[in-house]
Amino acid sequence: MQSKYVPVSVYPVDDSRRKSAPVSGFAIPALQGAMVGTLAWPHAIWLAPLALLLLPIVNKRHWLHPFLLMLGYHLATTYGLIKGTSVFFLHAGLFLGIGFWSLSSLAFALPYLAYPYITLYFRGGGLAGGGLAGGSPAGGSPAGGGFGAVMATVITSAISTIFPPLGVIGWTSPWLGAVAAGPSGILLTILGIFALGRLTQKNQEILARLLVVGFVVVALWLLPFAFPALDAMMGHPLPTAPTGWVGINTDLGRLRSNLSYVDASMELAPKVLADLRSGDKVVFLPETVAGPWLPGTRAIWRPVIRWTARHPEPIVLLGADVPLANGYLDALVKIQDGHQTVLPDHIPVPFSMWHPWRPQGSFRMTPFSRKPETTEMDGKKVGYLICYEQLLMWPALVLYPHGIQILLAPANDWWARGTDIPAIQRVSAKAWAAFFSVPVLFAVNQ
């Protein structure tokens, strides 16, 4: 009986990758991610996509490296939580801040544990054989490792910082640097991941590193001239808000009680009325600056409400906590023509504002709301991202299809004073304004 030889494509196995890697080997990708995060946020966010470009390179070395890279990245970009949390939760002190910082960074990085498996799946080889041990599938799909790297990056990053549930806490997304450059920046990032995925498949790491260096050079020197949206992010002005649109910044600090909100309203209402009388069309105030929107608060703002009833065109947007049956809405109250319209946000800050374990007093979380965060003002379609939403990908992506003409960015950052969080928030809002090609108007309490 003759035996028949049938050639079979297998994954070559690199035994060296099965051995325990030295601690220094695990530290390198984490340090690389931390370096990218430190350089990018908040002053050079166009460098943030470099973390995505490094993923296919570090994935070739060890299956844990994509996770460690992104862990280092997020630890470096979110360390402001340590001080900010300890200021907000005075009773908890420093330890709660360290816990939020480390655990949230770990949560952002966990999806990248699946990166090697997703890469192999989209290479066409599935998870059979020694796929994770190194090399590339000898009989893989024509797309090769480039397509696998792109799909792994898109899927893991979307789970980590775009789509809920992690998307409701996933700030400093590496994609925001690409967003700042507009659709062209996103396309360049995807093409770079594809190219580096193919190069690492062929073990051409030297050329891959040169491409990474080239990306940094291009990001710093060439992209501002190639993409007007990124030009805005590098110190050149975004489109300006219409004449007569005023954002009022305040320095009220922490408003600790209902009485402090009353004092703030008594101070601000006359100023807003003076602005309206001077001819301003839209007067825009910070998040929650009026506190709970109760009859007593509305009484303080009644002169403004009555003035708009006599002059129907001017508009006041006032940050307030609108009571619900069991909690509150974090909202802007739109005062026009003597009427009040509540414009709620979709994603309040987890833990400090949204706490599902104690519904009484919690702010409502509705990330999948079908009601867009838009309104009509002065004949223009206006979108708004309230405070924490400016840091995230999901609320802005939901806003994108509605064709807004102006972006409003109210915030209450008293708790983050002395950290880089307000700067990260501001540059994130500017990135989305650049992506939408619209002006952005800020109103911030510090």
pLDDT digits (tens, 9 = 90+) for 177-204: 899 877 888 888 888 888 777 765 545 4
> Do 344 and 195 share a domain, yes or no?
no
pLDDT for res 220: 56
> Do 61 and 175 share a domain, yes or no?
yes
14 against 235, higher pLDDT: 235
What range defines the domain where residue 418 resides? 245-445
The predicted-structure confidence for 30-57, as pLDDT tens digits, reads as follows 999 999 999 899 988 988 999 999 999 8
Highest-confidence segment of 255-259, 355-359, 376-380: 376-380
pLDDT for res 153: 96
Highest-confidence segment of 115-129, 146-160, 230-244: 146-160
Domain boundary among 232, 260, 281: 232
Q: Looking at 247-251, 256-260, 266-270, which range is the least confident one?
A: 256-260
Is there a domain that residue 369 lies in? yes
For residue 430, is pLDDT > 80?
yes
> Do 224 and 258 share a domain, yes or no?
no
Domain boundary among 232, 257, 272: 232
Is there a domain that residue 122 lies in? yes
> Do 250 and 223 share a domain, yes or no?
no
Overall number of domains in the chain: 2
For residue 356, is pLDDT > 50?
yes
371 against 128, higher pLDDT: 371
Is there a domain that residue 347 lies in? yes
> Mean per-residue pLDDT for 80-97?
88
The predicted-structure confidence for 328-339, as pLDDT tens digits, reads as follows 999 999 999 999
For residue 60, is pLDDT > 90?
no
> Do 406 and 258 share a domain, yes or no?
yes
Reading the block at residue 38, the tokens are 């430190």
Is there a domain that residue 3 lies in? no
> Do 186 and 44 share a domain, yes or no?
yes
Place of tokens 């390198």: 28
Using alpha carbons, select from 133, 153, 151, 154 the residue that is nearest to residue 141.
Answer: 151
Is there a domain that residue 274 lies in? yes
> Do 223 and 258 share a domain, yes or no?
no
Residues 318/291, Cβ–Cβ less than 8 Å:
no
d(CA 212, CA 208): 6
pTM > 0.75: yes or no: yes
Is there a domain that residue 378 lies in? yes
> Do 357 and 400 share a domain, yes or no?
yes
> How would residue 205 be classed by pLDDT, with cut points 50, 70 and 90?
low
> Do 48 and 173 share a domain, yes or no?
yes
d(CA 209, CA 377): 50
Is there a domain that residue 14 lies in? no
> How would residue 444 be classed by pLDDT, with cut points 50, 70 and 90?
very high
> Do 260 and 225 share a domain, yes or no?
no
